[in-house]
Amino acid sequence: MKTETTRYWGIRRACLAVAAQLRSRVFTTAVAAMIGGGSSVLACPQCFGAEETLMVDGTKLGVLLMVAVTLAVQGGFVGFFLYLRKRAKRIAEVELDTEWSELQRS
């Protein structure tokens, strides 16, 4: 039993060490991006410093369309799970009614 507990804590320590390394790498990358990256790096050549052109309007419309599709898919998942919850409640009520009527007969 003692060896299993020791092995568990060893694995846990190793996982925490890997997580700490990952956090430090992410932090270092974020700091490097903030220090080294200007606004010109974050924009594409078509959008940086461009006036309101058809290209910029098309890009904005594309982003809005992607957000709308994402929200529609998420809404579908929410609707599906609400349907499953409603169905489970209905089935539970039918089973309860069946069980109650069987108990009344005996």
- Give tens-digit pLDDT for 5-51: 777 777 778 888 888 888 888 888 888 777 776 555 566 666 666 67
Q: Are 54 and 95 in a shared domain?
A: yes
What's the pTM?
Answer: 0.45
Under 8 Å CB-to-CB from 47, ≥6 apart: which residues? 55, 56, 59
Mean pLDDT on 43-66:
78
Q: Are 86 and 106 in a shared domain?
A: yes
Q: Are 103 and 60 in a shared domain?
A: yes
Q: Which domain holds residue 1?
A: 1-38
Q: Give 5's DSSP letter.
A: H
* Domain count of the fold of the chain: 2
Q: Are 42 and 33 in contact (CB under 8 A)?
A: no
Q: Are 16 and 34 in a shared domain?
A: yes
Q: Are 56 and 34 in a shared domain?
A: no
